[in-house]
Homo-oligomer: A and B are copies of this chain.
C-alpha cells in the first residue's frame, strides 16, 4: 500500500514541478528535469545525507520514467489543471505525508535515533519542493505556505510516537496518513499559518 501511495505521490509531485517550470517558460527538457527533481529530490537528499546507497531512482530507474511521462502529460493537459486544483491539493498533501513516513522508516531501518528519523522524514517530505523552488529561482514556498513543513514535522513525530508505543506498523501508517492529511487540509481550508518572523535592519 505504501508503494502505491509512493507512486501516486511522485506522480503528483512531478506534475506540480512541471507546472512550476511552465510558469518560468522552460523548455520540455527543463520541465522533465524539474519534475524529476521535485518528485525524487527529497528522497535523494535524504539518502545522500544518510549515506544510504544506491539512491531510489538508481535502483528503480523506472520511477524516473514515470515522473518524466507525468511531466510530459502535464504539458498537454495543463489547460485542464486549473479545474483540478482541489484534487491536486489533496494528492499533494497525501504525497507530503507519504514521503514523510517513508523518510522516517528509512532512517529507523538504518538504525538511527528518533530525532534523526524525524529530520529524515521532514527532509524527504519537503526538500523536493525546496529544490524545485531553488531551480526555478523562487524563495522556497514551503516556508511561507499554510502549515506545509509543519505538517510533515507533526506527522513524523506522530508516526514515531506510534512506533515508540508499539502501535502495529500498518495501523501507525494509516493513522499518520489520515491525521496528516486532515491537518493539511484543515490548514488550507482555514488558512492556518505558522507565525512569521519579520526582521528589518539598516542593511
Contacts and interface: CB of A to CB of B under 8 A. Distances in A.
A167 interface: no
Interface in A184-203: 193-201, 203
A18 interface: yes
Interface residues of A, number: 61
B144 A135 contact: no
Interface stretch (A28-36, A98-106, A157-165, A174-182): A28-36
Most B CB atoms within 10 A — which of A19, A27, A195?
Answer: A27
Interface string A16-46: 0011011111111111011000000000100
Given A25-B197, A48-B48, A30 B61 contact: no
A119 B61 contact: yes
A61 B144 contact: no
Number of chain copies forming the complex: 3
A82 B201 contact: yes
Contact of A197 (B26, B58, B82): B26
Interface of A: 18-19, 21-31, 33-34, 44, 48-51, 53-55, 57-58, 61, 64-65, 75, 78, 81-82, 112-113, 115-116, 119, 130, 134-140, 142-144, 149-150, 153, 193-201, 203
Given A31-B197, A64-B115, 13 more contacts: A22-B197, A25-B144, A26-B196, A27-B197, A28-B194, A28-B195, A29-B149, A30-B143, A44-B49, A64-B119, A65-B115, A75-B197, A135-B140
